[in-house]
Structure 1
């Protein structure tokens, strides 16, 4: 009887080892296959979404360029001579541009979107700060004062432009 149990064990142990090895092999194979398919799907999605993401980056780059005070003042001329009206017109123009591109935020990282938003806010703040000066009494002087303010320092939108360029370079 003991011989039979020993013989049975001698047959079962190699079968059990073979079964364990086969299980481990197939588990590894299926895990690799799952990861490969996941990679293929991600690659295909990236291939389809990359042009859309790049277009979003282009649009927000254009937005930041358009709200740069130097370019904004050239593009948006004062309607009248009232500095408050011109200040409102400039800020309204920036807000409209921003709202027009608001949906693009889904293609940006949270940090990048925050920098873009901060660039917009800083530009609005710059316009408001300059307009608060009591020396400025009309729209033309406001334009001139904003341009003079920009002579010494870079536009607030430059920070957003640099961040967008950095993010786009990471895509490649």
Structure 2
């Protein structure tokens, strides 16, 4: 039968080791919590950067589809229907490229962007339908600009809505 004195060194080592183990556990737990908080902050920062980038990209998209910018694209030797086809194709391709940005925009802002895109395409077609066959491309472009200027400036209104929304989000 072993005496109590044989277990005394083990008991002493255990008594000394327990506080160190408790402190080590607390240190590891605190370290993990700090790292989790850091990851959350980085995630929030990244998300806000993504939102800002989405607003920038969609504002650039809207600027590009303004008729004053659209009429500068493509060769002057195109037929009007070719210009309309290429312009509509360009608008749709750029819109599709940027469509993932809707994840970061408000529902109303995204709908305004979609409506602006559709309104520009509709304006292209309505302007073409209202013309005689004797009109050349330069005249068509001028009429397109006049029609846009005489209507509601929905693109500028949408950009202004995006500005207000990003100020609220930021």
TM-score of the superposed pair, with normalisation by structure 1: 0.69
* CA distance in structure 2 between the partners assigned to 1:133 and 1:153 by the alignment: 15
Residue matched to 2:13: none
Report the CA distance shift for 1:156/1:89 in structure 2 as closer, same or farther (over 3 A): farther
What is the aligned-residue RMSD (CA, Å)? 2.3
What is the correspondence of 1:142-157 to structure 2 with a 5 Å cutoff? 142-157=140-155
What is the correspondence of 1:77-156 to structure 2 with a 5 Å cutoff? 77-78=74-75, 80-135=77-132, 137-156=135-154
Which secondary structure does the structure 2 equivalent of 1:77 belong to?
A: coil
The answer to whether residue 156 in structure 2 is matched with residue 158 in structure 1 is yes
Residue matched to 1:20: none
CA displacement 1:87-130 (0-9 Å, x = unmatched): 11111111111111011111111111111100111111111111
Report the CA distance shift for 1:91/1:60 in structure 2 as closer, same or farther (over 3 A): same
TM-score of the superposed pair, with normalisation by structure 2: 0.69
For structure 1, the 5+ residue unaligned runs are 1-38
Residue matched to 2:11: none
* CA distance in structure 2 between the partners assigned to 1:87 and 1:48 by the alignment: 39
Count of aligned residue pairs for this structure pair: 134
Report the more deviating stretch, 130-139 or 106-115.
Answer: 130-139
For structure 2, the 5+ residue unaligned runs are 1-36
